[in-house]
Structure 1
Amino acid sequence: MPNTRDEAYWQAIAQRYDLEPGPINLENGYFGRMSRAVLAQYQEHVAFINRSNSVHVRQRFEQGENEQIRRQLAELIHTDPEAVAFTRNATEALQSLIRNYNRLQPGDQVLISDLEYDTVKGAMRWLAGYRGVEVIEVSHAHPASFDSLVQAYRDTFSRYPRLKLMALTYVTHRTGLVMPVEAIAQAAQEHGVDVILDGAHALGQIDFDLAQLGISFAGFNLHKWIGAPLTLGFLYIAPQRLADIDPDMGEFHYPATDVRARTSYSTPNFPALMTLPLVFEEHRALGGASAKGARVKYLRDLWVSQVRPVPGVEVLTSDDPRLYCAITAFKFTGRDQQVMADRLLDEYNLFTTLRSGAAFGTCIRVTPGLVTSAADIGVLVNAITRLNAD
């Protein structure tokens, strides 16, 4: 695995990506970049499909190319092709799983936390009106500990015995907190609660085995940390649990025994899908999630280790290496976080983003990426320190 501190190596990797002149981007959590090679191939596929139109799609893509790509996706997450179906993004995947989960009865309870993605919260609350269930929401204290997170869920399962389904975010988009999924899923199973996992930020940063984690239902993005074109995600359903998710709104293009019936059938982004083999190849050649995750965690540690001791700055994400990845959030105590984020951009040329909706209020999210250098992190540390002193 490449040395996470080898700036020459990682800057050589960064040279594989084209960057628009402008601010230092520390908001790499929205979506990832394609490498120059992936972008070129994607553009070639766009031009080719535009020329060939349905001839290639009907004769080649639908007759086998798509299955080859699906098998490669399954290999990426160490599962069977029969367990995965492409979607346009993680949100679409998770909404399909929540909407079509068929084991709920009126009066049952479903669980979310304040850290879930807003569309996931919305989908779970939708169940209240359409399935007659009660939504339970828990809030997590920050910084959290491994044991406190697990115990919070254990206490919740005991307090609400009618819980049947919960949403759980692997890497929370607000603070980057990495949930102890395996321990929480085990506790949920002991109480008869099914877990739908939001893996949008996990894939490409964390090595995981869904079976080992005890996860039967999950949704992922391919355009965040894997480096694929936009409009690509997928859902996962453990084959033995397929019957617990209904075909999506009577979907008939695939038989009820096919996982692909669990999401809407539509004309996909064929050029993007056709580019995935190269995306997967580059991901593996770089060392996969182990190498990527280690590099971005190192960059995260560079700034957090220097900023956390500063009075007036509150880092909201734990330093337990099991509980963080690239993403970490912080606050300027007693300040307007929007004003401070604007000053980071206007005065120091640093682009970050605000996140809100959690119990702790509004925070500034910092997310380095593969093109981020240690020098960029130095600019961030200097900016936070100086702004805090104003």
Structure 2
Amino acid sequence: MPRNADNEAHWQAIAQRYECEPGPINLENGYFGRMSRAVQAQYLEHISFINRSNAVHVRQRFEQGENIEIRRQLAGLIDVDPESVAFTRNATEALQSLIRNYNRLQPGDQVLISDLEYDTVKGAMRWLAATRGVEVIEVAHTHPASFDSLVQTYHDAFAQYPRLKLMALTHVTHRTGLVMPVAAIAKAARERAIDVILDGAHALGQIEFNLAELGIQFAGFNLHKWIGAPLTLGFLYIAPERLADIDPDMGEFHYPATDVRARTSYSTPNFPALMTLPLVFDEHRQLGGAAAKGARVNYLRNLWVNQVRPLPGIEVLTSDDPRLYCGITAFKFIGRDQQTMVDRLLKEHGLFTTTRTGAAFGTCIRVTPGLVTSAADINALVHAITQLNTV
């Protein structure tokens, strides 16, 4: 176990950096993360400042240099060329732009999604069928999943559907937290000349990765989940050598076609949020980055999964293969209505979780600890699941 992952005193000291509203124990930290007190304070200062200075600062300072430095720091976060990233409002917007503007499809081509993709990504790929005349292929992953079964599902699909040209792939699935074997799948896709658009919404900040090593050339990310930025911040990535394969967004002309920023809609952004990012990135590094954050939430995940998995009447849906899980994990009460059980977890035990639907295995309950979650919170979850499982 990485140093400090199970050190409650260390992590509760870190938890004090975050302001939390009294109430239920929040085990739905996968929706969006908290800003630290310091980030929140700076964000509010920037809101006041931009409101006072208005276009004078934005036109003279932000647009003339500050934004370039912030973009450079963003690129440094994932060790890529600054010319390969462009800010968006979230990962969804980034992924929609990549899918919408991908220009290598012809009528009759096939595109691939799985049951574990984010619903908006599925919708965008289906939109291609209506507008480009392509065929959407959807595969359902076997359950329980293993590293080999996940890879084999794609090998089988590639062999069965020879007209595949594009596929969506989620790094960390939002339903169960399953971590996909991205490098192995991308390699197999590349051998078939199939392009991959990676949904990295839940990966950035809790998993260490290198896009070049993964073999990924198109991706979308959030900054408001595990990085700790204000809401309204995400970004897209396009490998520079592949920029021409993504058209400027709906004829975007404010940047030249050779600029990745033309692949996003041109609009007035959340300047105060963007100006806060240098502090966000600095705090992320000070905490130990994805290595430390990931180790902590993985420890908390294992703390409850190891106790709950053996219980009759409970099915944990996420693999224990360390290559395939992160802090997010889902389970179900076998034979019970999962939304009813989520309601009971909240009403009877003060634990806030959420249901996820859409996967082949049905509705599940997603549990996501965060940086403010304690081992005592996790023990409360174990107690609640145990009690509800017998009632």
Fold match (TM-score > 0.5): yes
Residue 193 of structure 1 aligns with which residue? 194
Q: TM-score, normalised by structure 1?
A: 1.00
Cα shift readout 1:112-159 (whole Å, capped 9, x = no counterpart): 000100100000000001000000000112221001000110010000
Write the mapping of 1:196-211 to structure 2, written as runs, cut at 5 A.
Answer: 196-211=197-212
Aligned residues between the structures: 390
- Secondary structure at 1:197 match in 2: strand
Give the equivalent residue in structure 1 for 2:354: 353
The 1:294/1:120 distance shift into structure 2, 3 A limit, reads same
Task: Check the 8 A contact 1:142/1:318 in 2, yes or no.
Answer: no
1:357-384 Cα distance to aligned partner (Å, 9 max, x none): 1111100000000000000000000000
Aligned equivalents of 2:242, 2:131: Cα separation in 1: 22
Which residue of structure 2 aligns with residue 339 of structure 1?
Answer: 340
> 4+ residue stretches of structure 1 with deviation over 3 A?
none
CA distance in 2, matches of 1:156, 1:278: 44
SS at match of 1:357: coil
Q: Give CA deviations for 1:312-371 in whole Å, capped at 9, x if unaligned.
A: 000000000010101000000000101100000000000000000111110000000000
Give yes or no for the alignment of 1:87 onto 2:88: yes
**Residue identity in the other structure for 2:119:** D
Q: Which amino acid aligns with 2:381?
A: L
* Structure-2 separation of matches of 1:142 and 1:350: 27
Partner amino acid, structure 2, of 1:222:
L
Name the CA distance, whole Å, in 2 between partners of 1:230 and 1:364: 24
Aligned to 1:216: 217
Map 1:224-373; keep pairs closer than 5 Å: 224-373=225-374
How far apart, CA to CA, are the structure 2 residues paired with 1:191 and 1:181? 15
Tell me the percent identity.
Answer: 84
Take 1:367 and 1:219, find their aligned partners in 2: how far apart are those partners? 21
Q: CA-atom RMSD, angstroms?
A: 0.6
Q: Which runs of 5+ in 2 are unaligned?
A: none
Alignment of 1:68-217 (within 5 A): 68-217=69-218
Match of 1:361, SS?
coil
Q: Distance in 1 between matches of 2:48 and 2:143?
A: 49
CA distance in 2, matches of 1:387, 1:220: 36
Match of 2:383 in 1: 382
For the Cα contact (< 8 Å) 1:229–1:272, is it kept in 2?
Answer: yes
The aligned amino acid for 1:78 is: D
Which residue is 1:49 aligned to?
Answer: 50
1:290 partner amino acid: A
| Partner-residue secondary structure (3-state), 1:230 | coil
**Equivalent position SS for 2:357:** strand
Matches of 2:181 and 2:232, distance apart in 1: 28
**1:74-94 Cα shifts (integer Å, max 9, x gaps):** 000000000000000000000
Unpaired segments of 5 or more residues in structure 1?
none
Hey, what's the Cα distance between the residues in 2 that align with 1:184 and 1:126?
24
